[in-house]
Every structure is written in structure tokens, then in C-alpha cells.
Structure 1
């Protein structure tokens, strides 16, 4: 084919986004097909009269949208429409592996669904839930969200709470309400795996920011000075944070760390999105960003990890100015979260099942963490008895992706650091290990022993563990 030249003459926003948009349009119209090779970056920069950096960002954006794939030494090609399913997505007929990859947080200890449905069936006026309700949810369900937010250190206003289809839907509608396409959003260098694709699908650019180093050598909070530099250099408009159990590093921010980040957010007029689905597992309640900076913070809460992922119910609490926008975005995406499952959750919260379930899961998690720390010594496992996953530091000579593959062949699923960082970042020697997806204590301990043994074997065979190229 002739050299592809995008038409960006009418572009109003950032040029790199206009190039990525033109590429997506040409794929949809058939002007570009699977396997077509894109021009070399330097050549396209010359043809368009833009910098090489602009083309690099455009190709990077296209790759984040899964429109193209880069092959070392060969160039960039239009990707296949068929994509591999993420290892985080459950499959109905998947093999019986020992799952230390997905963070399902002890689902075998969840409250009885049948008992909850029986209670709902006996509730007076239950049929009213079988119709449409306001996009933000019924008042009684938003008041349930207020109770949940108390565990997050936030005294929420029910008028500013909306019910969502889980935390991930909450992230989507919150970012749509607070930001515009083309905005740059600061994220942790290692962060929630789906945030990169979620932001990019909304036309937002994730900007990874490094963390502070703790006294024990682990990862701390996002570095506030690095955030300030990113805001100045990249025009960052917002920041995505997980203050109470950062995924994957497990770090819980101190009050001082939160205040430092609030200071930077105010100095650079950044909106804050805080998401922390694991917060209820922590015994201590620290002030939420929504309490420290209510004028600029949207808070997201969910009890999926606590008692009911199948309900798909979450809550968002936003500054008053964005209330109408949140309602509209929920309505546009799904009209409303299910009032039926929202009522199921409300009943569990009212009747104390949430507390009872947390008590059981905290006890189980304490035992799992202590066992993991002991069996994986001397390797550093960042986390503690209240964290439902751990961040394992590997010997520098062990490649995390190679270790993940070796464990997969042994029937053990884990996630390397690659899943928690942008594609343009170098691999790092870390694994995230979850403690609660595997029901059997015996299988969990067996997996830990195999992980330790495999690390030792790979550390003794450096020529097999270093990445090629």
C-alpha cells in the first residue's frame, strides 16, 4: 500500500490525539486493514511537519487503544481485531489452576445469597424495584452508600452520592464527568491494571508518577514533588489515587502523605479521583481525600471485594458541581445500576452482614499473609496482615514475566509487574500475589512453596532468566 498520511487539518486538540483518532477512523472505514504496516515514525513526522515526539505519543496512544502493535526490528502494524482475553477475566470453563493472580478476596466467605434473596422476597413493596429508578439510584440505596463511605473516612452527603454498577463503572463515569478528552491524568507508576485502558478509552492520557521510598525499602505514596513536576511538564488535570491499600504495592498513605498530595493538587488545580475497594479490610479509618479536599475530590466505594462481586454495586461521591454530570453519565452508559441488587446490598449492610463477613475475612487473611511472609523469606513481601495481596520483590536477576510463565506451567497463576504499569516502561522485578482467591489453605501453601523454589532455580540460572534483546 502507499504510505499512510492522516488528515489532521481540522484537528482542534492535541495533534497526537488527532493522529490516533484518524488512525482509528481509517481502520473503521477499511482504509487500513489488519497487518498493514504504518510509516516509520521519523518519516511520518517529516511528512506531517511535526516532531518525532508527537508521532511517538500518537503511536503509543494507538497501541493503548489496541489499534496497533509494535514489533521490535519490524515496525508498527495494524493489530488483529481478535485480542487475547485478559488473565484477570474469569472463564466459565477455565482449568483448575491455583489462583494467586486475581483478587477475589475470599468469595467462599461471602454472605449467603439464598438467604439474602429470601429476605428480599419478604420485603414489603419489593415489586417497585422491578422498574426504572433515577439514574443516581433510590434515596435509600444512596443512604447505604453513605454508610459504606464511613469506612472510607468520609462523611458523605446522600445528595452527592450516586449508585454505580461497581467500582470500575464508577471510575468510568467519574472520569467522564470530571475531565475532557485530551486531558492528562497522573497515576502511580504501578497501579490498578485497568486504569491505563480505561483512561485511554475515554481519550485521557495516563501519566505515570513515581512513588516515595519507605524506610523498609518498599513503595510509599505518590511522590508529591514528582506530581508537581508532571503537572507542570504535561499539563496534568487530575490524579488517580488509591490511598488505603494501593494496588499493587499495598501501601496505605499516612495523613501527612495525603496532606502533601492535597497541597500539590490545590497548587496546580488538579481534580482527585480516589478509588480503594479494599479499604474496609483495614482496622484504622484514615481521612479520605474527599474529606481533606472536598471541593476537588470524587470518591469511589465498592463492597464487591467485601461481600458481593456478583451484585455489581458501587457508589460515587462527587463535588456538588459535578452531580448533574454524574447522573447524566450513568444514564448514558447504563441508565441505572440495578435497584434489585442495590436492595440486596442495602439489606446486608443494615443487618450487619458486612461486619460479620469482614471479621471472617480478616481472620483468614491474617493467617494467609503470615504464611506467605514466612514461606517466601528472605524475599521482601510488601504488605501486612490487613492487606489482601502482597507485592513480592524478586532478585534483580529474575525476570518477572519469565517467572510468571514458569509458574503457569506448574498450574499456578500470578501477575508480573508488567500488568501494573504502562507499556513503555521497563520490566521491574516484582510479582503481585493475592491471598484470597484460592479457597484451600493446603493449595495456597503448596503454591507458595513452588513460587519460592522456582525463584531459587531461576536465580541460579541467569542465562535463562534475562530478557532477550
Structure 2
């Protein structure tokens, strides 16, 4: 096709926005169609007489608007108007598979919903919950959040706690409250899959950073030196961390690793967002970032993995100056989390059901991890008896996407490393396997055996991309 050159002569304001606006206009008029390739950034910069950085920002803005998509080694293309549904999203009538992809953490061991609803029905004054409440939630439910945060190593102030519609909503409103559109925020090289789309939807730029490497060859905490460099070179305004059972690597930061990152955050005045959905599974509570650096840390807690994803209840704890902003962002997005399901969770916390449920899930998880370590040997599985998923290192010759597809044809769902890293990075030789979504122990063990044998088969195939001789 003829090289696309945007008309920005009459545009006012930043040039990169004018280029993105022209791109969007040409898509709407049909001048550009799905699949059309955009010119290389250097070439377009030359044609327009602007800097390469301007074009990079323009293409980044276009991707944030979901107008284009970039593919490593192929360039930037006009994106489809429709997007594929995430493989993490449940479907009502999906074919039966052995699910080692989605991290539902033993839902068959969750507390009885019927018992919880029966208890609620007998609660005096329950009808008051069938109305509007403050956006941050009722005091009794915020006090429940403070109790939950104790398991996260944080003595939370109920007045600084807000109730959200689960952790995902908590991440969204917290980042909106702490940052401005256009801000760069550091994330782990491998991180929670939805963080990239969440950041894009609110105009934040993720800056993936490498991890320290442990003595056993596994991944450690985010490299504090890399964070300091990103603050200098990329102007990052904050950092998103999962200090306990990091998703997907499973690493739990030591106290020293936490302190090193706090020191960098204070040196460069970075805000910290800590997300810890798996912390209750761990036997020992380490100090949260919210305890180590309370003046700059927003903490997010959720009970979805512990006992009730259907309730969609989470909690955020933010520094005092951001309290009003959090309330406003919750109000703007959904007005309030449901006080009805918040009361359901509060009852389970008061009656000790979270502890009982965790005891059952920890026992089940120990069995699953030991089976995974045995059946996947000799491949390195970063995990332990307290981690509800594992990060499996593959032979360098095995493409994780090809392995995911091959297992899918056998009725086994897993996730390639591709889902946990920025789109412009080649997938690394890793696979995340969850331990608790499949109810049957026998099917779980069968799936592990098929994973090991399929890895062996793919590792023996010749690599046709390499030159011979």
C-alpha cells in the first residue's frame, strides 16, 4: 500500500496527539482498514520532520485507544474492531477441559453460600442494605476490611479503607486516584495479565522491569537498581508490586527485598501500589509495603481467591491525602460496592469461616504441589506447598505458545508466558500452571503427565528457524 502520511498541518496542541487523531479519523473514513500496516516509526518521523520519540508516543497513544496493534518483528497494524475474549474469562457453556490456566483456587472448598444467605436473612435490620450507601462503604464493612488487612501484615485504619468490587476494581480506582493519564508506572517483567489493559484504559504507561535472580535460578523481587534507573530515564511516577506469591513467578519478597524497594521509592518519591490476593495462603505474615512506607503506599486486598469470587468484594487502604480521590473514583465507576455481598463477607469473617476455608485449601494445595513437583520433574517448577500456582521453566527449544496450543488440543488449558508480559516482548520459555481450578485429583495428575510428555515431544522437534551447517 502507499505509505500513510497523516495531515497534521492545521493541528494544534501536541504533535503526537495530532498524529493519533489523524489516524483515528482515517480509520473512520475508510482510508485505513483492518490489517493495514503503518509505516516504520523512523520513516514516518523523517517524512513528517519530527523526532522519533514523537512517533513512538503517537503509536503508543493509538494502541491505548485500541486503534492499532504491534507485533514484534512485523510492525504496527490497524487493529480489528473486535477483540478476542480473554482465556481467563469464564464462559457459561464452555467445553469441559482440565483447567490449569485460571486461578480459581479450589472453589469447591468455598463456604456454603446458602448457609451464608440464611444467616443474612435472619439479621436484624438487613433491609437497610437494599439501598444506597457511601461510595467507600459502610463503617462495619470497612472495619471488616481492616481485619482482612491484618492477614496481609498491615494494621489498617478503617477510616482509610474503602470497599471495592473485587481486587480488579480496586487496582483500577487506586491507580486513577494516585496517578494522572500519561504517567509511567513500573511493573515486573512478568506480571498480572490484566494490568496492561487496566493501565491502557486509564492512560498509564507500564514500564516492565527485570527481577533479581535467586540462587536456585528462579525469579526474585523486582531489581531495585532497575527501578532507580527507570525513575531516572523513564520518569516513572510509581511502581506496581505483588510482594507475596507474585503472579506468575510465585516469589514472596524477603523483608530485605521490600526495604530495598522502599528505599528507591523514597529516593525518587515514587508511589507504591501493592496487590496481594494470595497472601492469606501463606503461613507467615511479612510486613506489607503499607506498613513499611505508609506515606506512599496504597494496598489492595481481596477475598476472591480465599472464599468468594462471586461476592466481588475487595478492599483498598490508601494514604490519607488520597482518601477523597478514592471515594470519588469508586463513585464515578460504580457508585458503591454491593453492601449486600459486603455483609455476606463480613459475616464469614466474624464467624471464622475464612480461617476454616484456608485450612482446607492449604491442605489440598500441599497435595497438588507435591504431585506437580514429582510429575513434572526434571523441569524446574518455581513454587512451594503454600503457593496455589507454579511457574514452569521450559527447555529453550520449546515455544510456550506452541505448548499451550498442543495441550489445548488434548483438553488441557494452561497459560503461556505471553499473557504475563508486555505485547512487544517475545514469549519467554515459561508456563504458568494453577493447582486449584480442577476439582479432580486424578484429572490433575493426568494433566501433569500429559504436560511433561508433550514438552518432551516438542523439545525433540527440529528448530526450523535456525540455519543448518
Shift of 1:79: 1.5
Inter-CA distance 435–127: structure 2 relative to 1 (3 Å threshold)? same
Are residues 1:260 and 2:260 paired? yes
Is 1:166–1:302's contact at 8 Å kept on the other side of the alignment? Answer: yes
Shift of 1:76: 3.3
Shift of 1:452: 0.3
- 1:321-360 to structure 2, matched below 5 A, reads 321-360=321-360
Shift of 1:185: 0.2
Match of 1:3 in 2: 4
Aligned pair count reads 465
Inter-CA distance 268–74: structure 2 relative to 1 (3 Å threshold)? closer
Match of 2:451 in 1: 451
Match of 1:291 in 2: 291
Inter-CA distance 264–449: structure 2 relative to 1 (3 Å threshold)? same
Matched position secondary structure for 1:250: coil
- State the alpha-carbon separation in 1 of the partners of residues 431 and 369 from structure 2: 15
Is 1:398–1:465's contact at 8 Å kept on the other side of the alignment? Answer: no
- State the alpha-carbon separation in 2 of the partners of residues 25 and 174 from structure 1: 32
Match of 1:55 in 2: 55
Match of 1:220 in 2: 220
Match of 1:363 in 2: 363
Shift of 1:194: 0.6
Inter-CA distance 61–406: structure 2 relative to 1 (3 Å threshold)? farther
Cα offsets for 1:324-383 (capped at 9, x unmatched): 000000000000000000000000000000000000000000000010001001100001
Match of 1:136 in 2: 136
Matched position secondary structure for 2:451: helix
Match of 1:123 in 2: 123
Matched position secondary structure for 1:304: coil
Is 1:458–1:464's contact at 8 Å kept on the other side of the alignment? Answer: no
Inter-CA distance 461–73: structure 2 relative to 1 (3 Å threshold)? closer
- State the alpha-carbon separation in 1 of the partners of residues 176 and 29 from structure 2: 26
Is 2:70–2:423's contact at 8 Å kept on the other side of the alignment? Answer: no
Match of 1:372 in 2: 372
After superposing the two structures, state which structure 1 stretch, 144-153 or 50-59, moved more. 50-59
Shift of 1:261: 0.1
Matched position secondary structure for 1:185: strand
Is 1:382–1:390's contact at 8 Å kept on the other side of the alignment? Answer: yes
Is 2:64–2:203's contact at 8 Å kept on the other side of the alignment? Answer: no
Match of 2:158 in 1: 158
Q: Could you state the TM-score of these two structures normalised by the residue count of structure 2?
A: 0.94
- State the alpha-carbon separation in 2 of the partners of residues 138 and 178 from structure 1: 23
Shift of 1:200: 1.4
Match of 1:114 in 2: 114
Matched position secondary structure for 1:462: coil
- Give the superposed CA RMSD: 2.1
- State the alpha-carbon separation in 2 of the partners of residues 157 and 73 from structure 1: 50
- State the alpha-carbon separation in 2 of the partners of residues 331 and 466 from structure 1: 55
After superposing the two structures, state which structure 1 stretch, 21-30 or 436-445, moved more. 21-30
**What are structure 1's unaligned runs of at least 5 residues?**
none
Q: Could you state the TM-score of these two structures normalised by the residue count of structure 1?
A: 0.94
Inter-CA distance 466–414: structure 2 relative to 1 (3 Å threshold)? farther
Match of 1:405 in 2: 405
Cα offsets for 1:15-54 (capped at 9, x unmatched): 6566446544665677755445434423321243322344
**What are structure 2's unaligned runs of at least 5 residues?**
none
Inter-CA distance 174–248: structure 2 relative to 1 (3 Å threshold)? same
Inter-CA distance 135–462: structure 2 relative to 1 (3 Å threshold)? same
After superposing the two structures, state which structure 1 stretch, 322-331 or 34-43, moved more. 34-43
Cα offsets for 1:368-419 (capped at 9, x unmatched): 0010001001100001000000000001111111111110111000001110
Match of 2:181 in 1: 181
Match of 2:381 in 1: 381
Is 1:402–1:465's contact at 8 Å kept on the other side of the alignment? Answer: no
Match of 1:273 in 2: 273
Is 2:71–2:424's contact at 8 Å kept on the other side of the alignment? Answer: no
Is 2:276–2:301's contact at 8 Å kept on the other side of the alignment? Answer: yes
- State the alpha-carbon separation in 1 of the partners of residues 399 and 81 from structure 2: 30
- State the alpha-carbon separation in 2 of the partners of residues 284 and 67 from structure 1: 46
